[in-house]
Amino acid sequence: MKVLLARTRVTEGVILTEAIVDSGPAGKDLSGRILALRLSGLGLALLAFLAGCSNKQAAAPPPAPVPVRVARVTLKTVPVELRAIGTVEALSTVSIKSKVAGELTAVHFREGQDVRKSDLLFEIDRQPFEVALRQAEAALARDQARLTNARAQAARYAKLFEEGVASREQADQTRADLDSLEATVRADQAAVEKARLDLSYCSIASPVDGRTGSLLVNEGNLVKASDDPPLVILNQLTPIYVSFAVPEQYLVAIRRFLAAGRLPISVNITEDQPSESGLLTFVDNAVDSATGTIRLKGTFANPARRLWPGQFVNVVLRLSEQANAVVVPSEALQTGQSGQFVYVVKDENVVESRPVSTGRSVQGVTVVEKGLAPGEVVVTDGQLRLVSGAKIQIKEAL
C-alpha cells in the first residue's frame, strides 16, 4: 500500500489525520478512502504540556545586580580658589650692551652660567681709551700751569693799577684772561673724568644676580655703543614672577581679601609634581577691555629653580575658606539632558537618579549646593550600566 497524500487538522478539540492511499492493482477501490485518527484527551494534555514548557523557556531571567563603587556624602571645609593658566616671568631681564665702541677682547663667563652682581662679564680693548685719558690729563696740566701764571699777572696789574702805573684796560684784560683759563681748566677736568669713565666702560660687569643666556657677540668682534644686538641677556631667577589673568568679575573679591591680608598662590607645571608657594604681589591698574580680564602677578622664592621663565603653569589663588560644605567625589557627578545628576543608593541596594546643583571643585571633590544631604551614599564608578531603580552590588566603598 502506498500513501499518496496526507494532512492533519484540528476539529472540535480532536486532531484528525487524513491519508489517501493506493493499495496497488488489486486494491484500487481503496483509493480515495479517508483514514482518520482520533486522539484521546491524553494527547491534548500532552500538547498543552509541551506548549507550557515552550513559554517557560522564552521568559528572560531577572537582571543581575550591577557592581559599583560608592562613597558617602560628607561635610568639609573647602578653600575658595581661583584657577588659571599662568606664565613664569623673570624678576628682571637685563640686556647687556656696550657703552663704548671698540673690539671685544675677552668674555669671562660660559653660556647659561649663574653670575653675581658686579661679576666681570666682558672686556673691550682699553688702549684707545688709555691714550685718550693721558691726552686729557696732559691738557689739564698745561692749562693749570697757564692758570697759575694768569693769576700772578692779574694780581700784578691790579696792584699797578692801584699805584697809577698801569691802565684800567690792562688790569681788566689780565682779569679776563684769568677767568678764561679757569673755565678752560674746568673743561679739562671734565674731559679727564669723561676719559676715565670711558675707560671704565671697557670692563662690563653684571648689574644683577642672574643667569646668562646665549652669547650673542663673540670675542674679536667690533662692538658699538648701545648697538643691537645685545652682548648677552641676563634673567634673574630668584625670586621669580608668575603672571596670570582672571575674569574681571573677581576683581572686587580679590581686592577685598588682599586688603585684609596676604593671598597665597600655589603653582605647578603638572599635577604629579610638587607645587611652589608664593604670594600675590601685583594687581594691574586696568582691566583688559579686549579680554575682560585683570592681570595679576605672584612672587615666588624659587629656591630649587623649578620655575623657569617662559613656562606655562597651573595657578591656584586662594581667597578664603567655606566651612561645612556638602561635598561628593567629583567622579560621582554625571551629566544628562537636564543637567548634572548622581545615583543615590537607597534601601535594598536600589539606586535612584537625582538632579543636583554643584559649585566649585577642589582637590578631587565637588561642592553640592542642592540635592544631597550629608550621610547619603552615591555611586562613584559603574554608572554607565545604571538606570533609576536598578539593583546594585557594592564591590568597594571609597
pLDDT digits (tens, 9 = 90+) for 334-372: 998 889 999 999 988 899 999 999 988 888 899 999 999
Identify whether the C-beta of residue 6 lies closer than 8 Å to the C-beta of residue 19: yes
Higher per-residue confidence, 5 vs 271: 271
pLDDT of residue 7: 54
Q: Report, as an integer, the average pLDDT of 221-229.
A: 87
Q: How confident is the model at residue 380, as a pLDDT?
A: 93
Angle at 258 between CA 255 and CA 264, to 5 degrees: 130
pLDDT beyond 60 at 20: no
Task: Tell me the fold of 67-78+324-397.
Answer: 2.40.420
CA 233/CA 95 separation, integer angstroms: 5
Cα dist. 347→223, 327, 353 in Å? 85, 22, 14
**Residue 182 CB-half CA count within 13 A:** 9
| CA torsion through residues 104, 109, 110, 116, sign | negative
pTM equals: 0.66
Write out pLDDT tens, residues 286-335: 999 999 999 999 999 999 999 999 999 999 999 988 889 999 999 999 99
Residue that wins the pLDDT comparison between 55 and 70 = 70
Query: In angstroms, how far is CA 335 from the centroid of its own chain?
Result: 27
Decide if pLDDT at 381 tops 50: yes
Name which CATH class applies to 81-91+235-322. Answer: mainly beta
Please tell me the distance from the alpha carbon of residue 355 to that of residue 342, in angstroms, as a whole number. Answer: 6
Q: Is the pLDDT of residue 56 over 70?
A: no
Two domains, one topology: 67-78+324-397 and 81-91+235-322:
no
Ranges of each domain in the chain: 2-58, 67-78+324-397, 81-91+235-322, 104-233
Question: pLDDT-based confidence at 57, cuts 50/70/90?
Answer: low
Q: What is the pLDDT of residue 186?
A: 96
Which is more confidently placed, 322 or 204? 204
Cell, residue 239: 625670586
With a CB cutoff of 8 Å and minimum separation 6, the contacts of 381 are 68, 69, 331
d(C-alpha 48, C-alpha 54), whole Å = 10
Helices (H) and strands (E) in the chain, counts: 4, 24
Cell 546594585 sits on residue: 392
User: With 60 as the cut, is the pLDDT of residue 139 above it?
Assistant: yes
Gap between the Cα atoms of 312 and 326, Å rounded:
33
Instruction: Give the pLDDT of residue 29.
Output: 45
Q: Is the peptide bond before 239 cis (omega within 30 degrees of 0)?
A: yes
Q: What is the mean pLDDT of residues 155-169?
A: 86
Q: Is 58 exposed, middle or buried (0-12, 13-18, 19+ CB in 10 A)?
A: exposed
Cα 322 to Cα 82, 246, 256, 362, 381: the distances in Å are 14, 20, 16, 11, 27
Share of the chain above pLDDT 70, in %: 84
| Residue 183 burial (CB count, 10 A) | 12
Average pLDDT score over the chain: 85
DSSP tag of 391: B
Kindly state the average pLDDT of the residues 84-106: 95
| CA 44 to the chain's CA centroid | 81
Residue whose cell numbers read 662692538: 223
Pick the more confident residue, 86 or 2: 86
Which residues, 6 or more positions from 90, have their beta carbon under 8 angstroms from its beta carbon?
Answer: 210, 235, 236, 237, 240, 241, 309
Average pLDDT for 249-263: 92
The more confidently predicted of residues 44 and 201 is: 201
pLDDT tops 90 at residue 51: no
Tell which residue, 326, 226, 241, 233, has the closest CA to residue 276: 241
Average pLDDT over residues 83-94: 95
Higher model confidence: residue 338 or residue 244?
A: 244
- Dihedral sign, CA of 37, 41, 42, 44? positive
Q: Is the pLDDT of residue 43 over 80?
A: no
Which of the residue ranges 5-14, 58-67, 117-126, 248-257 would you say has the lowest mean pLDDT? 5-14
Instruction: Name the β-bridge partners of 328.
Output: 366
Q: Please report which confidence band the pLDDT of residue 22 belongs to, taking 50, 70 and 90 as the band edges.
A: low
